[in-house]
């Protein structure tokens, strides 16, 4: 091994779409930190795309050293199919290996013409809801589960919850295959009254884009705690001789610097004490539940709701 | 059977070498990926395979996919031939530009085509809003899907008919007229029989492309299960659930349908060609 090789190491971080800006800044911070600490230069390469596609790419052989995806189900699938890392990966880092979180909120048109306040307003006749297909979009599964949990708590039974989500999805005029397509439908094509969105993306839309003046965010009374988890792909990291760097890369996500960055990029930090006060003001108080609380984990939720023949499929079965 | 027996007498040398190369190339480029598809599917039992490919939602998507692709290819058959006719037979200013425009649907990334079509035909688009007032919904209905397929399939018919028409001897038409045939009779009995095989080729290319099209359709379809969900989307849906076997099972079913339809079209083409040859034999 030559000297140059020992001094510069490369990590491949396979992530999903909306983390692009966050990791761009974080990678710089991490390299500086790691260089100061060990004298080793770490260069982080990023791969972004739809979460499901990214997971399949890793299953098919993409040499990821770390994964920072949108839901635990995709990471579970990789572990199960490839054995590249243990299936108890989620217990390796604090807070279920999710260093930053988000939730599902409503994006409505300026002035909120349909007067949408909470989940109940989404099932009213004449209200058009835009959300991607939860079978093809990982992000959209959070939307569905949030609606389900609200209905189950509010109306007290599973049958009522099925009725509620059926009604809601009948109000969906266009079901895109991914979050990008849905954003396009709602923002560019002007279709629909309310867009179910991750909070970080809704905040990005209302603070940065030129469309800022056209939309506002409505926070429902109850929503889901979206936990985009991270893990090291142990076998790859070991083969690439970057195991130490990969572990440190993820642990450093819980540091004050990284937590502040996460809040800056509209994710809720797990350690809010490290974030800027003005960034934190963007996150209103809302009752949040986790997938584990209500559904007993992603595997269970996936099996019952989204797999073929599951609850979601029944919504569209003829004769209902 | 030895190669010598397979080969009809030909003055061209190098038959074994070129046939070997052809088969090898076909195997590598076409058969290898398709056999991977079949192998993945084989992890299902026969009854599992059957229940995947006959699921109500999947069947609804076949009807939509093949129906819209057939309709779009038929529209292109008529209007594509017309465009080819105009481009070959008339001289006008800007003809070269028109000729170049034809290929644009090939060059454009299909997703861009889909987004552009929605921008125009969507409920808030300049054309879509007008049509909506007349009660015609285009975007997010099968009408929109057909429109996208017409767009992406358009060049096929034009480009297959055009060269045949260019080679067509105008003297034949003149002879037909001189022998007292009316215009319609000439078109029906002289021109169309000549063009039919190439029109059918263009039709089947446009059809095959339409059946497999994903990128542009996905933006304009609306993707509502049982109504506007195309088969390629269902395949992607299966993949998102890591159900590789289910995805390839649907793909196999699709492939089989397409193969059948292409065989029928090819058969029709062969029949027409034979008929024309007979006809020419009678004439001569």
- Three-state SS string over chain B comes to CCHHHHCCCCCCCCHHHHHHHHHHHHHHHHHHHHHHHHHHHCCCCHHHHHHHHCCHHHHHHHHHHHHHHHHHHHHHHHHHHHHHHHHHHCCCCCHHHHHHHCCHHHHCCHHHHHHHHHHHHCCCCHHHHHHHHCCCCCCCCHHHHHHHHHHHHHHHHHHHHHHHHHHCCHHHHHHHHHCCCCHHHHHHHHHHHHHHHHHHHHHHHHHHHHHHCCCCHHHHCCCCCCCCCCHHHHHHHHHHCCCHHHHHHHHHHHHHHHHHHHHHHHHHHHHHHHHHHHHHHHHC
Give the per-residue pLDDT at A178. Answer: 81
Q: Do A101-226+286-315 and A3-98+228-254 fall under one CATH topology? A: yes
The reply to whether residue B240 touches residue A136, judged by beta carbons under 8 angstroms, is yes
Domain A101-226+286-315 CATH class label: alpha beta
Q: Which residues of chain A have pLDDT under 70?
A: 1-6, 208-212, 318-320
Burial class (CB in 10 A: 0-12, 13-18, 19+), B182: exposed
For A278, the enclosing helix (H) or strand (E) is helix A277-280
Of B124, B225, B239, the CB nearest to A189: B124
Which residue(s) pair with A42 in the sheet? A9
The reply to whether residue A191 touches residue B219, judged by beta carbons under 8 angstroms, is no
Cα-to-chain-centroid distance, residue A200:
9
The reply to whether residue B56 touches residue A172, judged by beta carbons under 8 angstroms, is no
B13-68 per-position pLDDT tens digit: 888 888 999 999 999 998 898 898 888 888 889 999 998 899 888 999 999 999 99
The reply to whether the predicted model has a pTM over 0.90 is no
Burial class (CB in 10 A: 0-12, 13-18, 19+), A151: buried
Residue A171 distance to chain B (closest CA, Å) = 11
Whether residue B154 lies inside any domain: the answer is yes
User: What number does CATH give the domain A3-98+228-254?
Assistant: 3.40.190.10
> Tokens for B194?
């000549």
Q: What is the mean pLDDT of residues B124-143?
A: 89
Give the per-residue pLDDT at B221. Answer: 87
Q: Is the pLDDT of residue B133 over 70?
A: yes
Residue A151 distance to chain B (closest CA, Å) = 23
Give the per-residue pLDDT at A12. Answer: 95
A288 — phi, psi (to 5°)?
A: -120, 140
> Tokens for A185?
């439908």
Domain limits of chain A? 3-98+228-254, 101-226+286-315
Give the per-residue pLDDT at B271. Answer: 86
Structure letter (DSSP) for residue A267 = P
For A232, the enclosing helix (H) or strand (E) is strand A230-232
Whether residue B267 lies inside any domain: the answer is yes
Give the per-residue pLDDT at B11. Answer: 78
CA A15 – CA A18 distance, rounded (Å): 9
Whether residue B2 lies inside any domain: the answer is no
The reply to whether residue B223 touches residue A308, judged by beta carbons under 8 angstroms, is no
| Residue environment code for A73-92, b if the CB has 16+ CB neighbours within 10 A, otherwise e | bbbbbbbeeeebbeeebbeb
The reply to whether residue B224 touches residue A318, judged by beta carbons under 8 angstroms, is no
CA B66 – CA B56 distance, rounded (Å): 16
Residue pair A168/A151 in contact (Cβ under 8 Å)? The answer is no
Task: Find which of B115, B242, B244, B250 to mutate to test the A interface (most A CBs within 10 Å of its CB).
Answer: B242
User: pLDDT band at B174, cuts 50/70/90?
Assistant: confident
Q: What is the mean pLDDT of chain B?
A: 88
Residue pair B258/B209 in contact (Cβ under 8 Å)? The answer is no
Q: Considering only CA atoms, which of B68, B223, B139 is closest in space to residue A131?
A: B223
For chain A, what is the largest distance between any 2 Cα atoms, rounded to a whole number of angstroms? 70
Whether residue B50 lies inside any domain: the answer is yes
B195: CATH: 1.10.3720.10
Helix (H, G, I), strand (E, B) or coil at A184: helix
Q: How far apart are the first and last CA of chain B?
A: 38
Whether residue B25 lies inside any domain: the answer is no
C-alpha distances in angstroms, A294 versus A147, A156, A289?
A: 12, 13, 7
Number of structural domains found in chain B = 1
Residue B45 distance to chain A (closest CA, Å) = 17
Of A176, A302, A313, the CB nearest to B223: A176
Cα-to-chain-centroid distance, residue A306:
17
> Tokens for A236?
């790859």
Give the per-residue pLDDT at B6. Answer: 60
Sign of the C-alpha dihedral computed for residues A60, A64, A70 and A71 taken in this order:
positive
CA A257 – CA B65 distance, rounded (Å): 52
Give the per-residue pLDDT at A100. Answer: 96
Chain B residues in contact with A316 by the CB 8 A cut-off are 57, 224-226
Whether residue B77 lies inside any domain: the answer is yes
Instruction: Find the residue in B nearest to A318 (Cα).
Output: B226
* Residue B155 lies in domain: 45-283
Give the per-residue pLDDT at B139. Answer: 85
Chain A residues in contact with B115 by the CB 8 A cut-off are 184, 188
Give the per-residue pLDDT at A1. Answer: 45
């Amino acid at each position: 091994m030559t000297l140059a090789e020992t001094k510069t190491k490369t990590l491949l971080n396979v992530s999903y779409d909306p983390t692009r800006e966050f990791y761009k800044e974080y990678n710089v911070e991490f390299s500086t930190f790691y260089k100061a600490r060990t004298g080793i230069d770490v260069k982080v390469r990023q791969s972004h795309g739809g979460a499901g596609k990214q997971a399949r790419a890793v299953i098919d052989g993409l040499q990821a050293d770390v994964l920072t995806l949108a839901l635990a189900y995709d990471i579970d699938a990789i572990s199960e199919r490839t054995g590249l890392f243990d299936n108890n990966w989620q217990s390796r880092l604090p807070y279920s290996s999710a260093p930053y979180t988000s939730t599902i909120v409503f994006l409505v048109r300026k002035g909120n013409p349909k007067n949408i306040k909470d989940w109940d307003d989404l099932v009213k006749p004449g209200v058009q809801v835009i959300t991607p297909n939860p079978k093809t979009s990982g992000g959209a599964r959070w939307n569905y589960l949030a609606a389900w949990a609200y209905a189950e708590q509010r109306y007290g039974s599973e049958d009522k919850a099925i009725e509620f989500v059926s009604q809601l999805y009948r109000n969906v005029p266009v079901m895109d295959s991914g979050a990008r397509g849905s954003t396009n439908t709602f923002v560019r094509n002007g279709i629909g009254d309310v867009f179910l969105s991750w909070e970080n993306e809704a905040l990005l839309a209302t603070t940065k884009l030129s469309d800022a003046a056209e939309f506002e965010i409505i926070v429902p009374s109850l929503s889901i705690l979206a936990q985009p988890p991270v893990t090291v792909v142990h076998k790859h990291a070991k083969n690439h001789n970057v195991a130490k760097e990969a572990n440190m890369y993820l642990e450093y996500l819980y540091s004050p610097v990284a937590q502040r960055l996460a809040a800056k990029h509209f994710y809720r930090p797990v350690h809010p004490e490290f974030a800027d006060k003005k960034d934190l003001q963007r996150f209103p108080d809302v009752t949040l539940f986790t997938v584990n609380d209500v559904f007993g984990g992603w595997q269970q939720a996936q099996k019952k709701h989204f797999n073929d023949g599951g609850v979601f499929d029944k919504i569209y079965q003829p004769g209902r | 059977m030895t190669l010598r027996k397979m080969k009809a007498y030909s003055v061209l040398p190098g038959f074994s070498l070129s046939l070997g190369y052809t088969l090898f190339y076909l195997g590598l480029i076409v058969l290898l990926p398709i056999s991977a598809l079949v192998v993945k599917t084989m992890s299902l039992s026969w009854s599992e395979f059957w229940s995947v490919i006959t699921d109500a939602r999947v069947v609804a998507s076949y009807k939509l996919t093949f129906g819209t692709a057939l309709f779009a290819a038929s529209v292109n058959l008529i209007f594509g031939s017309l465009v080819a006719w105009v481009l070959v037979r008339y001289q006008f200013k800007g003809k070269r530009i028109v000729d170049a425009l034809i290929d644009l649907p090939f060059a454009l990334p299909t997703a861009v085509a889909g987004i552009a079509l929605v921008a125009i035909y969507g409920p808030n688009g300049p054309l879509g809003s007008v049509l909506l007032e007349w009660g015609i919904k285009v975007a997010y209905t099968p009408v929109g899907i057909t429109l996208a397929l017409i767009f992406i399939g358009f060049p096929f018919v034009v480009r297959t008919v055009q060269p045949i028409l260019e080679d067509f001897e105008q003297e034949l038409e003149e002879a037909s007229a001189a022998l007292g045939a009316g215009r319609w009779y000439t078109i029906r009995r002289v021109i169309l029989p000549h063009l039919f095989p190439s029109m059918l080729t263009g039709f089947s290319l446009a059809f095959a492309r339409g059946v497999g099209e994903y990128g542009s359709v996905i933006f304009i379809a609306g993707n509502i299960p049982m109504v506007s969900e195309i088969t390629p989307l269902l395949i992607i849906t299966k993949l998102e659930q890591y159900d590789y076997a289910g995805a390839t099972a649907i793909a196999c079913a699709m492939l089989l349908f397409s193969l059948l339809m292409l065989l029928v079209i090819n058969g029709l083409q062969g029949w027409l060609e034979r008929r024309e040859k007979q006809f020419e034999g009678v004439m001569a």
